[in-house]
Each structure stands twice: as structure tokens, then as C-alpha cells.
Amino acid sequence: MIRRYGGNAEANHLDAQVIHMLYVRSFFTHVSMKQEARLASEYFLRQVNQYWTSVRIYDQAMAGFVLYRQQQKTWQLIVQSLRERARQNKQLGMYWSTASREAWNDWPLERHSLIMLLFAETGLRENELRQLQQWLLRHKQGSAWQYPRATILAVYAMLMSSDLNDPVNLLSDTTPFEVQLFGLPEGVLSRPAEAGTGYLKWTKAKLIVKNPGKSLIWGGLYHQYLEEESKAIPDKGVELQLEGQWYQKTTSQIGVTLVPVHSPTVVQKGAILVLRLQIKADRHLEYLHLKTPNPAATEALQVRSGYGYTSGLSFYTSVRDASASYFIPSVEKGTYILEHEVRVTHAGMFQSGTATIECLYAPEFRARTSSTGLSIH
């Protein structure tokens, strides 16, 4: 095309489609090509060697496959660069974080799976496979793999990389984990667990969980208790955090201001109170439910349910008489602010109630705010 239409052959003409073509071709190196196709392939191989840093991480991993199978030494630079840019976390394992989730050729799940396969083919380092698998499992824990292509690639990467590099893969390791309970009422272990969830309730017991196998396991342990709402301690998790602060909205000559409301604070009937909620997530999570109660003697200003968007957070609000529920499809790692407004309608001493947020399909990701006392006159 350059010969036909002109242009600089030494300039960067590398894009995702070219790399995908070379990647597919790398599976059939034993098949001969026609002269024109061979010249084009050699030209774009030179382009990959020279301009691989200009494409996205997903395409760089594909380029690593191409160069490795074509015995081009540049693959070592690509693999080294991917390792240097990887993040390592005790909870999440080894992963790559970028802001390019909107690109069709750089979704996190497919990117991670492809890099796993690249490392497996070119040679994994010690404990690298476990860390890569750990991120995939943790990602599945709090989110849905909605695309068949991504799911198939992730499962293939998990099983194929295990077969190539680990004598004990995820399918062959069936070692059961051990749960030891002490101080249980007699007969509690003989009770059937809740169908579908395995939920079992006991009181005044000490719990010890051991994992003698090599596979990653996780679960949830919940302490349920009764307490006065004013004495409830905020529940701040690690993966998901929620902080709430009540403000009174006032209007003056300088405009609208928010005055913090602390417990106990005197407010007047007719005043507008604003609950500012701060949500912090340390990873990608999906299907979150945030519920905030309307304090007694107040009415919510938003009376219609519907979709909303604020500070990078999209959600659907379901308004009820006593509370409002925010259904959040997904959040990325970061901090988000959401506000809920109510109007004071009656006098008296009341508690604001506690707001809670929970990952619907991973309830171990949960957080709760404290309650604020309100004295209304």
C-alpha cells in the first residue's frame, strides 16, 4: 500500500489489527506464504520490533507471542516491561492496572489472561503463576464475567498455565479445608446448612479455618449482635469503606453552605439536612447496594426513583418512605461522593440511622456508618 499510495515506510504503521493478524499467523508458522504476503509479514515484524511500545498492553502481550514464536529477541524486552509494570498485592495477587477499560482490545480480564499465557509460554518465575491466578479468582469474587470471549480466555489461561508450569493444578487439587469450632451448643454441627448458600449460625464459638491445600479459598464470617443505634460502631472494611457525615444546608448572602451536624445537634423544623456519603473501594467491584435510612421526623426531597450520575458514579435510586436504596452497577478503585437530602418535619429527639453498603454477590464486602443524634425544635 505504501508503494501504491506513497508514504514513509519507516514511520509507525503499527495498529491492533496488524498485531492480531500476526498473532493468528504465529499459530501456523509451518504453513508457507506467497511472496507478497511474506514481504508484508516481514515488514510488519520489523514494525513490531520497533514500535511495540506505542500500542496497548493487550496488544503488547500479543506482540510478545509473535516475536517469541518468530525467534525475535525483542520478546524479552516486552516480557520484562510487562513484569516491571505489574502491581503486586497480598490480597489481589499480581495484576496490571490501566485506565483503558473502554477499549475493545484492552479489557482487564482478557489482558490479564493473555499475559498469563505469554508468561507460561516464555517461562514463569517462582510463585508468579499463583499470584496471577489469585487476581483472576479475586476478580471473579466481586464481579461478573459478562463476555463469553473473556470468560473462555480466563478459564483457558487458568487451566493451561497450570498444566504447563504446576504439577498441582486447580482441578487436581481437591484437598478439603478444615474448620474447627469450639464452644458450640450440642448438636449444632448436625443441623443442615441453608440450601444454596451453606449458611450456618451458632453462638459463642471460637472458629479456626485451615487450608492444607494449594488452592485459594475464601468465605465470610459474620458477628450478629443487638445494640442501641446510638452506640453502634462504624463497620469499616478493607476492600470497601463507607463514611457518612450529616450537614445542614443554609443559605446566606455568599450562597449555599453546608454546616456539619454532630451528635447531638439542635436543628429547626423545616431545615434541610444533607447526608454526604464517601465510598472507597480498593478494587473493581460490581452489583453494590447502598441503603440509607431517612431519619425519623424527616422526609426525603427526592421522591421519584430513577437513574443518576455523580462524581464518576452511576446508579439507580429506589425511593421508599423510610429509606432510599442506591443500586450501583460497578465501581473502580477510588473514592466516590454521593449525597442524600431530607427535610425536617417534626420536633423531638431522634437518631439518623446507619447507612450500609454491600456487594450483593460477595456479601463479605460490606461497610456501615455510625448514627448521629438529632435534637429538633
319-331: pLDDT as tens digits: 998 899 999 999 9
Adjacent-strand bridge partners of 88? 94
Contact 350, 372 (CB under 8 A): no
Same domain, 161 and 180: no
d(C-alpha 41, C-alpha 47), whole Å? 10
Please report, for residues 135, 140, 147, 226, 251, the alpha-carbon distance to residue 92 in angstroms, rounded to integers and kept in the order given: 5, 11, 22, 34, 46
pLDDT at 68 over 80: yes
Q: What average pLDDT does range 250-278 have in this prediction?
A: 84
Same domain, 69 and 204: no
Contact 189, 181 (CB under 8 A): yes
4-46: pLDDT as tens digits: 555 677 888 899 999 999 999 999 988 888 888 888 889 999 9
Same domain, 259 and 206: no
Confidence of residue 100 (pLDDT cuts 50, 70, 90): very low
Please state the φ and ψ torsions of residue 287, each to the nearest 5 degrees.
Answer: 60, 65
Which of 60-74, 119-133, 243-257, 363-377 is most confident? 60-74
Q: Is 226 part of any domain?
A: no
Same domain, 10 and 81: yes
Q: What is the DSSP string of 12-66?
A: ----HHHHHHHHHHGGGTTS---HHHHHHHHHHHHHHHHHGGGS-HHHHHHHHHH
Q: Report how many domains make up the chain.
A: 3
Same domain, 10 and 159: yes
Same domain, 237 and 312: yes
Under 8 Å CB-to-CB from 174, ≥6 apart: which residues? 213
Q: Is 359 part of any domain?
A: yes
Same domain, 183 and 294: no
Same domain, 243 and 193: no
Same domain, 60 and 135: yes
Same domain, 280 and 362: yes
Q: Which domain holds residue 199?
A: 176-212
Same domain, 21 and 67: yes
Same domain, 187 and 252: no
Q: What mean pLDDT value characterizes the chain?
A: 84
107-119: pLDDT as tens digits: 888 999 999 999 9
